[in-house]
Each structure stands twice: as C-alpha cells, then as structure tokens.
C-alpha cells in the first residue's frame, strides 16, 4: 500500500495529519498534471485545490483497485474537464484532427507512469540490504559486467551472481508489498 492510501485511510479515521501528508505528497505533481489540460498554471492550482477540497469535504471512497495517485489524478482530471465544460473552453473538433493530440497525451502518460515506476523502484531499492542494493546498482544501473562488479565489490563472479539473484528476489518481494506492477524482474 502506498503512502497516499495509508494517509487517506488515516484521514478517514479522523487523523487530519493524513490529509496534510496527501497534500504534501501530491500537490506539485497534481498541479503539473492539471496544467497539461488547462495550459494555465494558476487555473491548474485552483483545480488542484478543488480536488483536495473534494477529498476533504466529500471523502470519496477509495477501493484500492488502482494506486492512490492514479485515483487522485482521475478525480483532478474529472474536475478539470467539468470546469472546461462549464467555461465552454472544451470545443468539439473532428476526431481526425485530434489524432496527433491523442498520441501526444498517450506518450506523456506513458512517460509519466515510467517516471512514477522509477520512483517506486528507487524507494524499494533503498529498503534493501546495502549489499543487495550495491550489486543491483552496479549490474543494472551502471551496466557493469559480473566480472567488473566482482572487482568493485571484492567478490568472486559466482558470489556476485548469487548476490544479484538474492537481491532480485528481495526487490521483487519489496515491490510486491508496495503493490508495484512489474514485468520481468
């Protein structure tokens, strides 16, 4: 479970600090996200404020089927669309004219999700045993060979292979605890 979900649960149970944590965690990224829809940072700030206000007052149900951040951003996006609809900024255009924009939005969403996954991966790595973390970083992030990593860590190539195997298993376990969706670890 991510921090946002646990903070929201605490808030619903009466701990106002949970709400404060949610705002601190997601305020800036939510504003940036909403700015992509309205192209006005001040209006995006207002929409983010309205999103948090909705959480504060209406306390919508979060069922955990998606990450808390995805759920929160969906609420913000819906508020943005409703605002645009009310202000008649949203206008109908032929679907053929939208194709480049749809692709751009899809590419942005994919890159945003990749960045979020990198952040979650870093958090999980930071929780690992330092030996595991070191081995994974050398092999996968610094792209050293097993021989090179063995020299750096003063271990045999076989020890490095075992260490990397155990580190991947520990990382997989840690990511599963956090609800991380992964492909091939």
Quick check: 67 and 2 in contact, CB under 8 A?
Answer: yes
The two three-digit tokens of residue 175, written as one number: 């990511």
pLDDT recorded at residue 175: 83
**DSSP 8-state assignment for residue 13:** T
The two three-digit tokens of residue 38, written as one number: 């309205």
Task: Write down the residue that tokens 């004219």 correspond to.
Answer: 97
Q: For the chain, where do the domains classified as CATH 1.10.10.10 start and end?
A: 95-185
Report the range out of 7-16, 41-50, 112-121 with the highest average pLDDT.
41-50
Lowest-confidence pick of 72-81, 82-91, 114-123: 82-91
pLDDT recorded at residue 184: 47
Rounded mean pLDDT, 26-35 = 90
Could you count the other beta carbons within 10 Å of the beta carbon of residue 10?
A: 16
Hey, what CATH class is 1-91 in? Answer: mainly alpha
Residue 44 has pLDDT above 50, yes or no: yes
Rounded mean pLDDT, 84-106 = 67
CATH for 95-185?
A: 1.10.10.10
Q: How far apart are CA 84 and CA 78, in angstroms?
A: 10
For the chain, the average pLDDT equals 82
Lowest-confidence pick of 22-31, 43-52, 56-65, 104-113: 104-113
Q: For the chain, where do the domains classified as CATH 1.10.1740.10 start and end?
A: 1-91
Q: How far apart are CA 34 and CA 22, in angstroms?
A: 17
Residue 185 has pLDDT above 50, yes or no: no
The pLDDT tens digits of the residues spanning 56-71 come to 899 888 888 888 888 8
Residue 40 has pLDDT above 80, yes or no: yes
Could you count the other beta carbons within 10 Å of the beta carbon of residue 55?
A: 18
Q: How far apart are CA 109 and CA 127, in angstroms?
A: 27
């Amino acid at each position: 479970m991510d921090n946002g979900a646990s903070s929201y649960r605490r808030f619903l149970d009466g701990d106002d600090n949970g709400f404060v944590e949610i705002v601190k965690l997601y305020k800036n990224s939510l504003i940036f996200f909403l700015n992509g829809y309205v192209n006005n940072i001040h209006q995006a700030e207002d929409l983010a404020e309205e999103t948090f206000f909705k959480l504060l007052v209406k306390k919508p149900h979060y069922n955990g089927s998606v990450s808390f951040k995805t759920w929160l951003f969906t609420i913000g996006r819906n508020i943005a669309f409703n605002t645009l609809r009310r202000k008649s900024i949203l206008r109908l255009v032929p679907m053929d004219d939208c194709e480049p924009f749809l692709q751009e939005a899809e590419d942005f969403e994919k890159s945003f999700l990749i960045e979020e996954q990198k952040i979650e991966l870093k958090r999980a790595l930071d929780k690992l045993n330092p030996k595991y973390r070191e081995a994974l970083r050398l092999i996968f992030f610094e792209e050293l060979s097993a021989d090179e990593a063995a020299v750096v860590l003063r271990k045999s190539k076989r020890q490095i292979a075992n260490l990397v195997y155990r580190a991947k298993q520990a990382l997989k376990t840690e990511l599963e605890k956090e609800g991380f969706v992964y492909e091939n670890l």
